[in-house]
Structure 1
Amino acid sequence: MKFKRYHPLTILFDLYGFVKNVAIFAVMLFVFNYGSDSTLVRIGRWALLAGALLTLISMLMKWFSTRYAADGQAFHLQGGIFQKTERTIYYEKVQNVQRRTSFSHKLFRMTSVSFQTGATGVDAKVEFKVVTQQEAERLEMLVKEAGTESVEIPDTAAESETDKSEVKRVIHFTPTRRDIVKASFTSLSFLFLIVIAASLFSKINALFDVEEAVEGWVVSLLTSGWVIAGIATVLIIISFVIGYIRTFVTYGKYEIASDETRIYIAKGVLDESAFSILKKRVQGIEISQSFMKRLLGLAEVKLISAGSLGSDDDEVSTLYPFLPVKRAYSMIEEMLPNYEVSSEMKRLPRKSFVVRIVKPYWFWLIVTAALTYFRNDLFSKPNLWWIISISLLAVLMLARIANYWNTSYAITARFIQVSEGTLGKTTYLTRRDKIVEVSVTRTKLQQWTGLATIGLVNRAQPVRHERLPDVTVEEATRFYRWYALRGEEVRVE
């Protein structure tokens, strides 16, 4: 087995990251304080230069001492400057794969690829920050074909492509121009320019008193309803164009596809990223709708997996965030035949509505106590404080009522589906064999009213907890017995 070093451009990319992190300090020390004789400034400059030199030396030493190899079964990683370490990560542990090609990568015709496992710590992922497109393809193919071939795959993508069998991918969705328009409208990005323009005008007016500086026909022109409407229209058009371009750059090349074993999500125009996950690794599905998306009949579908993708996990594991609801449901069943989205869901019993309304409003009590104590200092009108208190209580009660009406669930032969929300709505779907833990709990109030709260846990990063409060005790008992049948479905891999 032959080990090799990472691509030399890895040093340049690491150095670029370091420069970005210290750029603000360098500007403060060498630009804003140019010519300063302050002792602290001099110490800061020397410390920054010494830190940069040590970082560069560390990067070079790390590159020379770090190597990797990939055979037919696992990644083999060697590293350590003063203490040598060696790790082996088997392909069968890989939960999902993410490839990202930033604008910087494109300049050098490179890419990055990350293989995420369900483990924690140093074994959580195997990352290649800078690799050629051919090497990334080879590594991905090794992982994809894990267990199907016992021989070592060649080091060149050309030879690998010759030997591999064609895998048929089915493209389920690519956004049309109409979808891009809907996405830009849903994000409300077209309103940003109007808000910024209004804010700038108010600040300029406060500083220079614009309204008093201009006189006569200028004042009449600026205060004309037609002129204001025209300016607002122009700003809306410009904002919409900017929002459309921004949305196109992010979602213009979106593609959702799948084959027999994996789901693939690709997106981005300038900054491209690609995500793939084994179908059998999907732990659950989350379908979420904001208030605006509910009005437009759109939904966002997220795949829940045990592998973590870091800070952009929510973004890369999400199917197109602006899917029509019916298309989202049908696409789930197309890509994941082992999942079924239930269209018929049960409502909570009526007594759970009463329980939710009479539960203590702790936030309201705290706010009301504060308003009562500071009412003479905060309000000039003596009755204003209790008007605010009553209004807050009404809003909280309406939120609980809306949450009750938006809560529903379904427990079928092998699935559980839970929907909750107030203005927006989130639906979570998972299979019984993917649930690792369940619970049934009861508060004093629930004991008096014959209700209970059921909970379930899925493997994810972080662990996914779902709760369904205020179901009947009979339903909670049925849920517990339903989960007990899981032993007949679970198979050791």
Structure 2
Amino acid sequence: MSAPAAGTHQADESGQGERSDGSNQKPRNASGSQESGQWRLLHPLVLVEDAIDGVKSSVSLIIAAAVVIFHFNPPHWVIWAFGAFVVVCACLIAPMVGYFSTRYRMTGESVEYRSGIVVRKHNIIAYSHIHAISSDEPFYYKPFSVVKLNIASAGTVAADMQLKAVPSDVQYELEHLRHARVSAQSSQASAQEGIVAGIGAEASAIVTGHVRPGASIEEEQGHGEMLYRASTADILLYALTDLRFLAAFVALIGLLDRIKDVISERLFDEAASRVTSVFTSGTVVVIALIVLVVIVLMVASVVNSMLQFYGFEVWRRKDDLVIVRGLLTRRRVTVPVNRIQSVGIRQSVIRRMLHLNSVAVALSASHGEDDDGDSTSISLLPVIRQRELIETIARVLPQWDIPNPQVQRTSRHLTRYLLFLPCMMTGLAVLAVILFAVLRHDGMALLWALLPLAIGALWCFFRWIRGRYEGFQLLDDKRIIVSGARGFALFWVVTRRSRIQSVERQTTVLRQRRGVERLTMPLFVYSGETELRFSVIHQSQAAQLQEWAMRVRS
């Protein structure tokens, strides 16, 4: 979601440096905010990154062109000249053109970004529209005090503004400007136009008086309060209870299956025979091999978790939460508390047995790409013990006032409606296998009935656990707790009534007679649980939720 086009006009009238068309204009404010409104270049380090990206992108072009050129058998100097031309264009000319045609600036009302020569792009995000500010500081950026800055507005990643390389103090400057602007708007909503016009100078004065380049959170804000710090033991516990390493194992098996498409059939058969001989050599060898694979996957999980969450800290600074983490690449995400749309608590099977939880917050915007490519979720507490959960959430998010949940189970005495479909489909599949075996007079074909039985049992288990844990609790007139299950994981989410977009109630003719429905309430969030869903619910409870959410009686 981009800011209104009027943002550019407002920025110029408040005296924030140049106009959007590039013409110079002196600020009207005598105190001067020209420095904060000037267009700035990115850090020259972006030239190195763009050159490396250019080399990567030009490799495929060079290979494809070489295949065509060699067909005509040209002189060697032509081939070398073409390769040099592509490399120079990709590694020198394109980065230089991109560098000098890209500018950004921060005015009293918005942050602006423009780029391009032929196709010119001018992106404006008003401070009041910013949902999160995140920065990445790779280890090779640290000596230069440079970060990659991502400014998230509401909506998809396309609504974000990405500054590839800027001085690290730009993030603090932007946070101060945003906070000053939002505070001024909330406290002076009924002020006259002349008073509002001075906000830009006030915000700029705050920045120039307090921001120091390269300052850490603790140094830059002495009154900042640390709310939570994950120890190394916590991160190890997170890694060892993370079930994603099992998904990596399944992906590895799938990759091995694809190898036969790459190597020759003879080599694949030879390797397969050797593996088979190892597995048939004895039970001890097979167990040792399985244990070795599990250890390797767990070590990989520990390394990945350390890279992602080492030094994990949550700070409160004014009305913002600041989350800092990362080993090689230090990541810092600043989230205004009033932009948090929901709070989600999850438990995998292993973590439930160990009484552990993970807490994440959801926004209505992305926040930059994560270590694993995720640009949606914001981990607030990677792993925390059950007995410390409510106390820690109360310390980190006191505005939400989250209690221990005491939900009403919506599927009480209704589990049979959830199990009817998987049981029926499983029975039909087993009957089909039996019929096939009888017609073929093949008794061994009956073993295929085990496959639909296994799938059906897993389907029934997922339905049963969903029915066992789905429920809700209305905390007050504005907040709700909803619990449920997704696969093997349990969750409960806390959100506000204003985030619910609609109420959708479904039923069948048979269920309607018995007062049984299915209820879905989509949420205005970008990540996490994007809807509140009840697979089966009593009609009276559905009417209660509809009246609470929409203020409409059924």
TM-score when normalising by structure 1: 0.78
Alignment of 1:431-450 (within 5 A): 431-450=496-515
Q: Which of 232, 239, 250 is 1:184 aligned to? A: 239
Match of 2:56 in 1: 20
CA offsets per residue over residues 292-313 of structure 1, 9 Å max, x none?
Answer: 2212222221211011135534
Root mean square deviation of aligned Cα: 4.6
Match of 2:397 in 1: 336
User: C-alpha displacement at 1:28, in angstroms?
Assistant: 9.0
Distance 1:155 1:9 in 2: 29
Q: CA deviation at 1:281?
A: 0.8
- Distance in 1, matches of 2:504 and 2:238, equals 39
Which residue number in structure 2 is paired with residue 481 of structure 1? Answer: 547
Find 1:321's aligned residue among 382, 386, 389. 382
Whether 1:92 aligns to 2:158 is no
In the alignment, the residues of structure 2 paired with residue 363 and residue 47 of structure 1 have an alpha-carbon distance, to the nearest angstrom, of 62
SS of aligned partner of 1:330: helix
Answer yes or no: is 1:289 the counterpart of 2:352.
Answer: no
Distance 1:181 1:335 in 2: 22
Find the aligned partners of 1:271 and 1:447 in 2 and give their Cα distance.
55
Secondary structure at the aligned position of 1:437 is classed as coil
Q: Residue 322 of structure 2 aligns with which residue?
A: 264
Distance 2:244 2:466 in 1: 28
Note if 1:109 corresponds to 2:145.
yes
Say yes or no: does 1:415 pair with 2:483.
no
Secondary structure of the residue that 1:104 maps to in structure 2? coil
Structure 2 counterpart SS, 1:480: helix
- Residue 456 of structure 2 corresponds to residue 393 of structure 1: yes
Among 121, 129, 133, the alignment partner of 2:168 is 133
Question: Could you tell me how far apart the structure 1 residues matched to 2:427 and 2:322 are?
Answer: 49
Structure 2: distance between partners of 1:372 and 1:50: 68
Contact 2:410/2:537, CA 8 A, preserved across alignment: yes
Q: Secondary structure at the match of 1:89?
A: strand
> 1:190 Cα shift?
8.9
**2:366 alignment partner, SS class:** coil
Matched, 1:7 2:43: yes
SS at match of 2:444: coil
Which of 161, 169, 172 does residue 211 from structure 2 map onto?
A: 161
Unaligned 5+ runs, structure 2: 1-16, 18-37, 185-198, 213-218, 257-266
| 1:359 has 2:421 as partner | yes
1:472 aligns with 2:538: yes
**Residues 283 and 430, structure 1, Cα contact 8 Å, conserved in 2:** yes
CA contact (8 A) 2:434 2:446 kept: no
Counterpart amino acid of 1:381? M
Cα distance between partner residues in 2 of 1:64 and 1:78:
11
One-letter code of the match for 1:440? R
Shift of 1:323: 2.0
In 1, Cα distance between equivalents of 2:283 and 2:296: 21
> 1:13 deviation in Å?
1.6
**Cα distance between partner residues in 2 of 1:15 and 1:476:** 58
Q: 1:475 and 1:83, CA in 2 relative to 1: closer, same or farther beyond 3 A?
A: same
Identity, % of aligned pairs? Answer: 18
SS in 1 for 2:546: helix
What is the Cα deviation at residue 135 of structure 1? 2.7
Show the 5 A alignment for 1:41-60. 53-55=88-90, 56-60=92-96
2:408 matched residue in structure 1: 346
The 1:434–1:37 alpha-carbon spacing in structure 2 relative to 1, beyond 3 Å, is: closer
Whole-angstrom CA distance in 2 between matches of 1:417 and 1:53:
58
Question: Is 1:147 aligned with 2:182?
Answer: yes
- Residue 391 and residue 141 in structure 1: after superposition, are their counterparts in 2 closer, same or farther (change >3 A)? same
Q: CA deviation at 1:483?
A: 2.0
Is residue 2:465 matched to residue 1:402?
Answer: yes
Using the TM superposition, give the Cα deviation of residue 183 of structure 1 relative to its aligned residue in structure 2, in angstroms. Answer: 2.0
Determine the C-alpha separation between the residues in 1 that align with 2:136 and 2:309.
Answer: 15
Relative to 1, partners in 2 of residues 1:45 and 1:254: Cα closer, same or farther, differing over 3 Å?
farther
2:342 partner SS: strand
Q: Which moved more, 1:417-426 or 1:41-50?
A: 41-50
- Residue of structure 1 in register with 2:9 after alignment: none
Distance 1:26 1:83, change over 3 A: closer
1:391 Cα offset (Å): 4.0
Letter in 2 for 1:269: L
> Cα–Cα, structure 1 residues 20 and 266, in superposed 2: closer, same or farther, change >3 Å?
farther
Q: How far apart are residue 234 of structure 1 and its match?
A: 8.5
Partners in 2 of 1:224 and 1:373 — Cα distance? 38
Give distance in 1, aligned partners of 2:291 and 2:119: 65
Q: Structure 2: which amino acid aligns with 1:248?
A: M
Alignment partners' CA distance in 1, 2:491 and 2:416: 23
| 1:172 aligned to which of 218, 227, 240 | 227
> How big is the shift at 1:101?
0.8
Contact kept? 1:153, 1:160, Cα under 8 Å: no
Distance 1:37 1:169, change over 3 A: same
Aligned to 2:306: 248
Instruction: Say if 1:98 and 1:275, in contact at 8 Å, map to a contact too.
Output: yes
Q: Answer yes or no: is the 8 Å Cα contact 2:433–2:445 preserved in 1.
A: no
Q: Does the CA contact (< 8 Å) of 2:155 and 2:366 recur in 1?
A: no
TM-score by structure 2 length?
0.71
User: Mind listing any 5+ residue stretches in structure 1 that lack a counterpart?
Assistant: 215-221, 487-493
